[in-house]
Structure 1
């Protein structure tokens, strides 16, 4: 380090500093909102992944196990573990595909469907409460901007690999 370096000066320009500030604010906002969701989900004896699988099956119907992992962002090994746990709780059932023996579908049991129908409205109200800091117009703008940011970051990541 030379004598002309001021330790209080940022290393990059203002744009770099703004990007770091955005990252910190985004991470903190995400953590704050997710804490509401996590507490709600855990109050029903589930973890976030289990809830994600039940939510997907409730809203989209039966799904191939390998596709569930992609949609709720977990590995194929973990989806088997989560499906086993939900099956032991009698919330999920596995169904062999009639067209391809290699494909196994997951679906909700009647108990699973009743369970998610009962808890989802409360969970939705928890999420509404968690994001009430923005009005409707601000939420629309935030959705647009965050999609743009996510797609750009994804493209950049793909180009680096």
Structure 2
């Protein structure tokens, strides 16, 4: 019975290592693609959010792309300097400022997002649709379980 417990522990450790290695390979490939367009991953995430969801309160962007609030200001400043987004005041509440994608930002995303999607499709093409759905389900289950440990 002790051998069975060791095998379970070994499997958990192996899963952790394999999951991390796979995630790192995918993240490295995606980051390389984004950098080839002059964006870092965080800048891309913010632009992608604005591209698909429209104007967003700057204070809420960090929660949407999992970034600390101090980092969001830096990223928004950089994207604004590059001409890809602009700040807009909220007419109803002066305390709220929105980030809005500019025409240049939309043009950039119109160009690079379809290629980003194709790159992701290529990376995951080793899996059929059933395997992708199963992985999504299992990884969500794992993430939710870990989130609730000692919560």
TM-score range, shorter chain: over 0.9
* Greater share of helix: 2
Q: State the shift of 1:50 in Å.
A: 0.1
TM-score (normalizing by structure 2): 0.94
- Residues 4-63 of structure 1 show CA distances to partners (whole Å, capped at 9, x for unaligned) of xxxxxx9x6322221111111110110111122111101001000000000000011100
- Alpha-carbon distance in 2 for matches of 1:150, 1:38: 23
- Alpha-carbon distance in 1 for matches of 2:49, 2:11: 36
Q: Does residue 18 in structure 1 map to residue 8 in structure 2?
A: no
- Alpha-carbon distance in 1 for matches of 2:47, 2:117: 14
Match for residue 37 of structure 1?
30
Question: Match for 2:143 among 131, 146, 150?
Answer: 150
Q: State the shift of 1:133 in Å.
A: 1.5
SS at match of 2:88: strand
Which sections of structure 2, spanning at least 5 residues, go unmatched?
Answer: none
In the TM superposition, what are the counterparts of 1:107-146 in structure 2 within 5 Å?
107-146=100-139
Q: Number of aligned pairs? A: 149
User: CA-atom RMSD, angstroms?
Assistant: 1.5
Match for residue 47 of structure 1?
40
Which sections of structure 1, spanning at least 5 residues, go unmatched?
Answer: 1-9
Q: Does residue 64 in structure 1 map to residue 77 in structure 2?
A: no
Q: Does residue 99 in structure 1 map to residue 92 in structure 2?
A: yes
SS at match of 1:13: helix
- Alpha-carbon distance in 2 for matches of 1:152, 1:80: 32
TM-score (normalizing by structure 1): 0.88
Q: Contact 1:36–1:127 (CA<8 Å) still a contact in 2? A: no
Which of the two has higher C-alpha Rg? 1
